[in-house]
Amino acid sequence: MTVSIDVPAAAADVLSKPIGHLIGGRTIDAADDHFPTTNPCNGEVLAQVASGTEADVDRAVAAARAALDGPWARMTPSARGKVLWRLADLIEARTEEFAHLEAVDTGKPVTYARLVDLPLTVDWFRYMAGWPTKLVGSTVPISAVATPGDYFAYTKREPVGVVGAIIAWNFPLMLAAWKLSPALAAGNTVILKPAEQTPLTAALLGEVIREAGVPDGVVNIVHGYGETVGAALAAHPGVDKISFTGSTEVGRHIVRASAGNLKKVTLELGGKSANIVFDDADIEAAAAGAANAVFFNQGEACTAGSRLFVQSGVYDRVVEGVARFAEQIKVGDSLDPASQMGPVVSDQQFSTVMGYLESGRQQGATVAYGGSRIGDAGYFIQPTVLTDTAPGMRVVDEEIFGPVITVQRFDDVDEVVRAANASCYGLAGGVWTSNVARAHAVADQLRAGTVWVNSYNVFDPALPFGGYKQSGWGREHGAAVFDAYTETKTVVVPTA
């Protein structure tokens, strides 16, 4: 495949110079230590990025603490909301620049970045812009026998403080919005640590944040590796909360590192989501939905419906439909408007996915479609459908994070619910049926944070999102997210 870089001028400007940190409102380059970010379509270097150190984290925490106690604390809730709305407007106005940077850095098709990642990013900031004026407390009557006298008691919501936000590489801009928008709405300050594989949109976001009028130090961005910047943030005594999106393995490291000052931690981790098709489903819609559930974003989504369960009566039709859908996907250059799927993000991820495919073959899985590399440049993998799969196979039990779906047959409801729940993960799931009572009953039994019925990957900033079991702690989005970004204070005053 031939790949060219043709991006809007402002995006080209981001690529034209080393990418530095944003600390205290200033762009700070590394003295001498940089790392490359590469184009997964061809492996070529896109830009050099400042490699953060523990000292950079110290400076960012100091800047965030000063801003927390300074102008940000004095800004009214309404004013904070206006800043968030202005930030949304500026991101929307620069959709093309953000979309092109996201595409060349992650490998996702620019069309999808333009139609999915950017609108959702804007939606999140606009939704959260309405919350600063609504984080209210309540009055509480006191009537305990052991508390004689008259008292006036009330609660209030206050910001947690300095937040460390560590994000993954699959949806870099959108995940930044998921962290920043509620944290800022609640009055916190933030140190954002982008994934080292995909730092480009964070660099442009830093420019937009300043343009939107966010006070210096309220949002700081420190680039670097997880074992340096991420670990330093998680362990830092000046950080009050960590919000992390990434793998379950790294989530465990975050928890251990955060234990020193017992900082608050929320984790959005891995998944191996079950997508269940019953024999009374709309088979054409279910097959297309199951394919989209796993092949969207190259399969690099924590919610990917990577375990497909199909009732025996329609098994062959669904497998055929999913394989046909996979065959028709146009895999290509992320900047080609016709591309529907790009490469996986990196050489490391390419090797991981190809290793799983080899493991599947060795353990007895049948490749119904795909299973191979595309071309000899970049990290392109065919969308792959594996049948004859069973629990115990690595492709069934472990998160692949690539365009690979495993298909298993079932006969009755109890059987498939047991199989769906037989996972250490519990992030999401899907149910395809025309029986409304069955849809509700199965959704009720699935141990997953989100269950979609006759649909998949429907997101909205008002919907709580998070996982059961090893898929994480806490919830993102909606009203629920503010439990993670605020402290509740109780005040009691005698009235006589």
Residue 8 has a pLDDT of 86
Quick one: which of 300, 283, 58, 285 has its CA closest to 171?
300
Asked whether the beta carbons of 402 and 423 are under 8 A apart, the reply is no
What positions carry a catalytic annotation? 268, 302
DSSP string spanning 221-264? E----IIIIIHHHHH-TT--EEEEES-HHHHHHHHHHTTTTT-E
Six token digits for residue 136: 């209210």
DSSP string spanning 98-133? HHHHHHHHH---HHHIIIIIHHHHHHHHHHHHTSGG
Per-residue pLDDT of the chain (496 residues; tens, 9 = 90+): 333 467 888 788 889 889 999 999 999 987 669 999 999 999 999 999 999 999 999 999 999 999 999 999 999 999 999 999 999 999 999 999 999 999 999 999 999 999 999 999 999 999 999 999 999 999 999 988 677 788 999 999 999 999 999 999 999 999 999 999 999 999 999 999 999 999 999 999 999 999 999 999 999 999 999 999 999 999 999 999 999 999 999 999 999 999 999 999 999 999 999 999 999 999 999 999 999 999 999 999 999 999 999 999 999 999 999 999 999 999 999 999 999 999 999 999 999 999 999 999 999 999 999 999 999 999 999 999 999 999 999 999 999 999 999 999 999 999 999 999 999 999 999 999 999 999 999 999 999 999 999 999 999 999 999 999 999 999 999 999 999 999 999 999 999 8
Q: What is the largest CA-CA distance in the chain?
A: 81
Asked whether the beta carbons of 335 and 104 are under 8 A apart, the reply is yes
Residue 31 has a pLDDT of 66
Distance of CA 126 to the CA centre of its chain: 18
Supply the pTM of this predicted model.
Answer: 0.95
The phi and psi torsions of 152 (rounded to 5 degrees) equal: -110, 120
Six token digits for residue 459: 């997101």
Distance, in Å, from the CA atom of 354 to the CA atom of 357, rounded to the nearest integer, reads: 5
Distance, in Å, from the CA atom of 144 to the CA atom of 476, rounded to the nearest integer, reads: 35
Quick one: which of 80, 92, 177, 178 has its CA closest to 130?
80
Q: What is the DSSP letter of 376?
A: S
